[in-house]
Chain A
Amino acid sequence: MKLAAKVLKKPIASTLIAVLFGFIVAAVVLVAAGYNPGQSFGALFHGIFAKPKYISNVIIKATPIILTGLSVAFAFQTGLFNIGAEGQYIAGAVAAVLVGVKLDLPPVLQIPVVVMAGVLGGTLFGWIVGYLKARFGIHEVITSIMLNWIGLYLSNFVVASGTYHMPNSTSTYPVNPSSYTMLLPNWKTSKAGMAALKPHQWLYEVMLKTDVNFGFLVAVLMAAIIWYLLYRSAKGYELRAVGFNRDAAEFAGINVNKNITDAMVIAGALAGLAGALAITGTAPHKISTLAAFENNGFNGLSVALIAGSSPIGCIFAGLLFGGLLYGGQSVQQDVGAPTEIINIMIGTIVFFVALTKIVPVLAEKLEKRGAGHVQ
């Protein structure tokens, strides 16, 4: 009993329980909708793990939401609620396209320039939110929600603008191939590359049929950097101190306003990086007219929540989320269940994660009851 209580008190345990409950509820929903849950989950896992290229696709799908998740988690650790990751992501993508379409340098220069442009785009959006909060005390939730819409319409404006709009399409021109961050983008489609890859079936599939790119490595690296920044540096200590208690931090001589702005700038930069890497790393390498948000940023909120705002946790939560998003397509293709079921499942998992605060309480009760029995 004691052991059970101890295990339950660990945050990871409650997250896993939440995920489990998510699946159980999804199973109930599937049965109610007339689909076989076993078969559906089979299709889900088959769609995630059956082939190396599926796993590769999951990782590709997870990359942007790991970064936006990191953005939200980081802001949350510093006491800010960055609901604007969506807008910052869009700003990053737009900035990357603006630069990447017009500029055509050798890849060694082009890639950093385009990615930095994206980072700056996100940074700008983050900075606006941080500055308004620090200078005028305007709540970051309000300003960042508004900026999400500004980002959406800015993106649509760029898509419709004369120099960027590709005729007969609903999108801009793609960025120049020199900005691609896939693994050997030119070599793998060349004759020599195809011939070299052909004998290795799985490598051939992964390389040619998916957009294997460096984004995931960058995301992991960023997670490590953010972890170091938050927990191993003086700056991180200040940032977190402001998050815990503004007044106490101010009393201790920490510049609160500067730290708020800095926190939003970093959060914005992370989300902008996600947008830029999505443009450089995955087809179609361009932005299209957005009817609604693509949820890259909002999914980041879920990722941060599942990860309990831990930077390293974001990697795994992002992979889980990416797996569900990508594998969900196979449930629909194989079983015929609408993808909405998968959305319900994701929603339930997040819902139960939000409820996980209950688990330690339950664990405590369990402990007490155990103690009662002993006496």
Chain B
Amino acid sequence: MKKLAAFLLAALMAVSATACSSGAASSSEASSEASGQAASAAGSSSAAATNYKVLMVTDTGGVNDQSFNQLSWKGLQQLEKDVPGAKANYSESKQESDYATNLDKAADDGNQLIWGVGYAMAGALQNAAQQNPDIGYAIIDNAYETVPSNVTCVVFRAQEPSFLVGYIAGKTTKTNKVGFVGGQKSDVIDQFEYGYKAGVAYAAKELNKNIDVVSQYAESFVDSAKGKAIAKSMYSGGCDIVFHAAGGVGVGVIEAAKEANKYAIGVDMDQAFLAPDNVLTSALKRVDKAVEQVSKDAIDGKEIGGKTYSLGLTEDGVGIPEEHKLMGDDTYNAAMALEQKIKDKEIVPPASKDDYDAFVKTLK
């Protein structure tokens, strides 16, 4: 009995100790496609940076999360290519208690700019910035009320691409019912939800019909099985398009779309590669571009501390992919026209429930 137990223990150990290493695809792959504009950018900043170390600390999603951690890392790898002398690195957090220690280690290693990816790190990053006033910090998706002088905040107006994909969904739906799957309720996810709903409402007005939006939260950003279950019930409940803003949960949503042969709309990065025939479009947050640009500014010695960058369509910080074979040219062109209207501030997509209610009133 004891021997058996010991053996079981051993076997379990071996499994549990190695099981945490999920999804360890080689991170170098991500960079392969990114090359293009190397030459154009290289000239500007080469002089200032002979040896500039940049490091990003991921949130608990890890560096291969198919979302903003991965995109941030892609941005830094691009930076390494474009700017000679820039050295990029990352540090993965496994638990929330790792944020503080990883940020601290990053400061010890002589990094001049340290990125924190995600609002979960807001508190830890602020502490680190306070302890190391000589080091620059930057954070994605979080805006402090008073930004410390050595911290740069980067936020995205995610309601803008969400409005566009909502509009596309409204134009494309045949059942007049579309869905939204959110991760966990927060201001950031509200931007997606209400931007999307407003886009659908805008399309409904244009087509002069009623389109329902069902929305549900998975209370998670990683539970893809739950995303699949929610999307499945949405599809069988009459939705033919589901948009998700739920990180890893969305992988399940897209899987469900594939199985039901309906449409899903991706988020953050162009997720068409997950199901080329079912991902209608994606609401892009160009985190990679933002990370690269802000890092470049830092290397060039520009004053970026204490600032908050809000990136939208105008800054090319968000958008939708050009590929549009599933929706057809007409819808795409209409969406592009709408994009121009948002850029011209003729339409201001709502980012919260109150703004949304006000927005819907103006449509009537």
Contact = CB atoms under 8 A, between A and B. Distances in A.
Given A168-B188, A351-B10, A295 B21 contact: no
B221 A340 contact: no
A295 B20 contact: yes
Given A329-B98, A347-B17, A283 B10 contact: no
Contacts of B9: 76, 81, 301, 305, 354
Interface string B66-101: 000000000000000000000001011011111111
B120 A350 contact: no
Interface in B96-115: 96-102, 104-106, 108-109
B219 A156 contact: yes
A14 interface: no
Contacts of A330: 105
B135 to A, nearest CB: 13
Interface string B5-42: 11111111110111011001001000000000000000
Nearest to B97: A282
B124 A284 contact: yes
Interface in B169-212: 184, 186-188
A301 B220 contact: no
A329 B221 contact: no
B150 to A, nearest CB: 16
B326 interface: no
Contacts of B98: 329
B17 A346 contact: yes
B158 to A, nearest CB: 14
Interface string A247-287: 00000000000000000000000000000001000111000
B131 interface: yes
B5 A291 contact: no
B264 interface: no
Interface residues of B, number: 52
A147 to B, nearest CB: 16
A128 to B, nearest CB: 20
A294 B248 CA distance: 18
Q: How large is the interface on A (under 10, 10 to 19, 20 to 34, 35 or more residues)?
A: 35 or more
A22 to B, nearest CB: 11
B281 interface: no
A336 B60 contact: no
Given A301-B9, A333-B55, A334-B109, A295 B16 contact: yes
A292 B221 CA distance: 11
B225 to A, nearest CB: 11
Interface string A80-111: 01010000000000000000000000000000
A121 interface: no
A343 B223 contact: no
Nearest to B188: A168
Contacts of B94: 294, 339
Nearest to A338: B24
Nearest to A344: B18
A332 interface: yes
A192 to B, nearest CB: 17
B95 to A, nearest CB: 5
Contacts of A81: 5, 8-9
Contacts of B100: 211, 283
A332 B184 contact: no
A114 B192 CA distance: 39
B123 interface: yes
Contacts of B12: 83, 298, 301
Nearest to A325: B94
Interface string B34-60: 000000000000000000000100001
A333 B96 contact: no
A169 B10 contact: no
B222 to A, nearest CB: 4
Given A332-B92, A333-B91, A350-B14, A168 B186 contact: yes
A305 B131 CA distance: 39
Given A156-B219, A170-B120, A210-B104, 18 more contacts: A156-B220, A169-B186, A170-B221, A171-B120, A282-B97, A283-B97, A289-B184, A289-B220, A292-B222, A298-B16, A305-B10, A326-B101, A333-B105, A340-B21, A347-B14, A350-B13, A350-B17, A354-B7
Interface of B: 2, 5-14, 16-18, 20-21, 24, 27, 55, 60, 89, 91-92, 94-102, 104-106, 108-109, 119-120, 123-124, 131, 184, 186-188, 219-223, 248
* Shortest 4 CB-CB contacts between residues of A and residues of B: A354-B10, A291-B222, A340-B21, A347-B17
5 contacts: A329-B91, A329-B98, A339-B94, A350-B17, A357-B6
